[in-house]
Amino acid sequence: MKKRVRMMGVAKPGSILIELLAVMAMMCPAMLVAQDKAPTADGGLKSVYGKRFAIGAAIPGADLKNEEIALLSKHFSTVTPENCMKPEPIHPEEGRYDFTGGDALVKMAQSKGLTVNGHTLVWHYQCPDWFFVDNGKPAGRELVLKRMREHIAAVAGHYSGKVASWDVVNEAIDDGKGYLRNTKWTQCIGDDFIAEAFIAARKADPKADLYYNDYSIEGGGKREKTLRLIRELKQRNVPINGVGIQGHWQVGRVPLKDIEAAIVAFHAEGMKVAITELDIDVVSRSASGANVNAREKGADDPFVDGLTPEMQKKLADDYTRLFELFLKHRDKISRVTFWGLHDGRSWLNSWPRKRTNHALLFDRSLQPKPAAESVLELGRKQ
Ligand code: XIL
């Protein structure tokens, strides 16, 4: 009613069009709701970037400190469970599912107006051995395929309508010369485990966007192999909607040209492109990708007392160049998700060895770093 009075107030007396609009608005409250949706200028990442693409953070679960929840709600529009929806925690034994962590996360996300991206249905890591064993012997194709389908039906079915997307298959492409990574999945089922996983995911959840997710697929051989995989899946009419470029990069070495080429190439194949696990390592490591099995020795901890101003600037520059690229290709990018909410929560503090990392936009006190300020400023200008 208040709206109607305002509308009537600006109408020239006798304006039939305005009168008509006012009557329609009374009959259709959605019109009023739409009018009230003015952008909130609270200065968070999501208010700056949210209209271009979803902006997210991986979180361990619902059990966060109040200040962390406040940081999450201010800056992010979507979350990814860091571990609790992976096969190991969610399906520890055949037929026994544990949805506690995932359910709590979904409930918290919903209460804060955040969407959820399921991660991940099929992966060679954090996947229990029972999938691949039959009475103490290696299980055959039919049994493993049946178990994989059951797993996907149960998990994606349970979260159907509650997640916006799924990383259906994670890291299936070989880092070396081969096409697909040699894993228990390929050994037991064969290369078509990927197609079968997507088919099962679509059956279980008719609406979620279904992604293939991997690291280092922006460049070199892995980009070509990803394109081959997408084309093969499309040829077989397999329901795939997008590709997730994980984005575990290293300071001073972010492969911007490759990233751009990959975004363009995947999109040209009809894929939505998401950056699913963004972080920029500031402590040098020898692993160039993000193979969780890669471990390194060393006790070096150069930034245990904090980042130097020079390194803060380097990190800010890298993040700014990246977000310039994301903005340039906003029509192709569905989501950009950081792998962690703040530096204290980053997996890079323990992978590939223990060290004090500073790979995200917010520091351990949850304060925005120069990188955050710079990314925010860039978004506001554009
Ligand atoms: C990592 C988690 O962050 C860690 O807590 C866990 O110990 C190992 O897995 N690529 C992925 C993610 O797809 O699932 C990984 O997450 C990081 C690399």
Interval 170-199: pLDDT, tens = 999 999 999 999 999 999 999 999 999 999
pTM for the whole thing? 0.90
Whether the CB of 341 sits within 6 Å of ligand 1? no
Whether the CB of 246 sits within 6 Å of ligand 1? yes
pLDDT higher than 50, residue 28: no
- Residue 123 and residue 19: Cα distance in Å, rounded? 59
Burial class (CB in 10 A: 0-12, 13-18, 19+), 33: exposed
Task: Check 82, 171, 196, 218 and give the catalytic one.
Answer: 171
Whether the CB of 82 sits within 6 Å of ligand 1? yes
Q: At 314, is the secondary structure helix, strand, or coil?
A: helix
Average pLDDT over residues 29-54: 66
Active site residue 277: yes
- Residue 52 and residue 199: Cα distance in Å, rounded? 30
Which has the closest alpha carbon to 278: 297, 308, 250? 250
Ligand 1 atom, smallest distance to 167 CA: 13
- Side chain identity, residue 9: G
**String of DSSP letters for 28-84:** -HHHHHHHH-PPP----HHHHHTTTSEEEEEES-S---HHHHHHHHHH-SEEEESST
State the distance from the centre of ligand 1 to the C-alpha of 364, rounded, in angstroms.
19
Whether the CB of 281 sits within 6 Å of ligand 1? no
pLDDT at 42: 64
pLDDT at 139: 98
- Residue 302 and residue 336: Cα distance in Å, rounded? 29
Handedness of CA 288, 290, 296, 300 (dihedral sign): positive
Whether the CB of 347 sits within 6 Å of ligand 1? yes
Average pLDDT over residues 315-328: 98
**String of DSSP letters for 131-177:** GGEETTEEPPHHHHHHHHHHHHHHHHHHTTTT-SEEEEEES-B-SSS
Give the pair of three-digit tokens for residue 139: 């299980």
pLDDT digits (tens, 9 = 90+) for 341-351: 999 999 999 99
Looking at every residue in the chain, the average pLDDT score rounds to 91
State the distance from the centre of ligand 1 to the C-alpha of 339, rounded, in angstroms.
9
Q: Give me the residues paired with residue 169 across strands.
A: 122, 212
pLDDT higher than 90, residue 32: no
Active site residue 171: yes
Which has the closest alpha carbon to 339: 159, 174, 215? 215
Residue nearest to atom 10 of ligand 1 (CA): 290
